Each structure stands twice: as structure tokens, then as C-alpha cells.
């Protein structure tokens, strides 16, 4: 048999073989960018990013001690700013049906770690009443907004999404 003959036989054999069923590729995670109404409107970032999969991972942008109108409640008062930061985090978490018990990571940026960290921990412990999440605290020379004394980012892990509008 010639080469052409063998090629024809091979093509016929392949054509006669049943197509193997292939499982559909898993859907890629779909991030959802959210800006809850309880926090001032951001400029150039999202307050919350939700990524769905078997569970949900929530990324919350750094929160400053500014109230929903964009003002510092008490300029220069670290405790007041830290409390407002945790109120902002609470609103961000609530926007995706999460609570502080779902937070698995905090990144904390302070302008004077020596004096501010003990106060930060006191305030945090009023909101985070379960095991404290993995945390990183850094001292930096200044933050992006004038008068800000701290900024806190959070990551939360949740079970799969509940039906729209139903928080447990």
C-alpha cells in the first residue's frame, strides 16, 4: 500500500471513532467590584472586590478614618480615626453579607507605630471578637489623604454566595 493509501485508511479510522465527550472548562472566577452606600464614594479604586468560586474571597481596599461624607470626624484624634476605619470596614463587609468573623487578613498602615499600635489593637478588639486575623502592621511616613493617621485593608473568606439580598 502506498503512503497515500495509508493516509486514507488512517483518516477513515479517525472519522469512524466516536468523539470523546469533553467536560466543559470550569468557569473563570468573576470579580464583582462594589462600593457600598455606607462608605464615601471612592476615587480611583473600589472599596470591595468579591471573587466567587467554591467559596468567596473578598478584598477590601484600604479604609481611612473618613466618614461617609469624606470628612475626618476628629482631625488628629487617632482613636476616633481608628473607630471610623472599623465602621467603614463593617459597612464594606456588610455590602457582601460578611462580618468581622470572616476576615482572614488585615494590612495596617500607621504613621507612628509605637504610639498608635496599642490604641489600634484596643479599637480592633471591639470589632474583631473572634480569633484575630493574620495581620501586617507597617509604619509609613504619610498616607494618600491629608490628615489620615492610619489605613487598613482587609481580606475575608466566605462560603458560596447566598441568594441576592439574603444575609445570614
The span from the CA of 66 to the CA of 88, in Å, is 8
Asked if pLDDT for residue 148 goes beyond 50, the answer is yes
Q: What is the mean pLDDT of the chain?
A: 84
Domains of the chain (ranges; CATH) run 29-158 (3.30.1330.40)
Residues 132-145: pLDDT tens digits?
899 999 999 999 99
Provide mean pLDDT across the span 140-156. 95
Pairing status of strand 103-110 against strand 150-158: antiparallel
Asked if pLDDT for residue 94 goes beyond 90, the answer is yes
Task: Provide the whole-model pTM.
Answer: 0.74
Q: Which residues pair with 49 in a beta bridge?
A: 33, 59
Mean pLDDT is highest, among 16-30, 43-57, 144-158, for: 144-158
Contact 66, 149 (CB under 8 A): no
Asked if pLDDT for residue 3 goes beyond 60, the answer is no
Q: Which residues pair with 59 in a beta bridge?
A: 49, 155
The span from the CA of 69 to the CA of 92, in Å, is 15
- Measure the N-to-C terminal CA separation of the chain; round to a whole number of Å: 73
| Band of residue 50 on the pLDDT scale cut at 50, 70, 90 | confident
Amino acid at each position: 500500500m502506498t503512503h497515500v493509501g495509508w493516509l486514507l485508511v488512517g483518516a477513515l479510522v479517525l472519522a469512524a471513532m466516536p468523539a470523546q465527550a469533553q467536560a466543559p472548562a470550569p468557569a473563570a472566577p468573576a470579580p464583582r467590584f462594589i462600593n457600598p452606600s455606607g462608605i464615601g464614594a471612592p476615587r480611583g479604586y473600589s472599596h470591595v472586590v468579591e471573587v466567587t468560586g467554591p467559596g468567596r474571597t473578598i478584598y477590601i481596599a484600604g479604609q481611612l478614618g473618613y466618614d461617609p461624607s469624606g470628612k475626618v470626624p476628629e482631625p488628629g484624634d487617632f482613636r476616633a480615626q481608628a473607630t471610623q476605619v472599623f465602621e467603614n470596614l463593617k459597612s464594606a463587609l456588610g455590602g457582601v453579607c460578611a462580618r468581622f468573623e470572616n476576615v482572614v487578613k488585615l494590612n495596617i498602615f500607621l504613621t507612628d507605630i509605637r504610639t498608635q499600635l496599642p490604641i489600634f489593637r484596643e479599637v480592633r478588639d471591639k470589632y474583631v471578637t473572634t480569633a484575630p486575623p493574620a495581620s501586617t502592621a507597617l509604619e509609613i511616613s504619610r498616607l494618600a489623604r491629608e490628615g489620615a493617621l492610619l489605613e487598613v485593608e482587609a481580606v475575608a473568606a466566605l462560603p458560596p454566595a447566598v441568594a441576592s439580598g439574603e444575609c445570614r
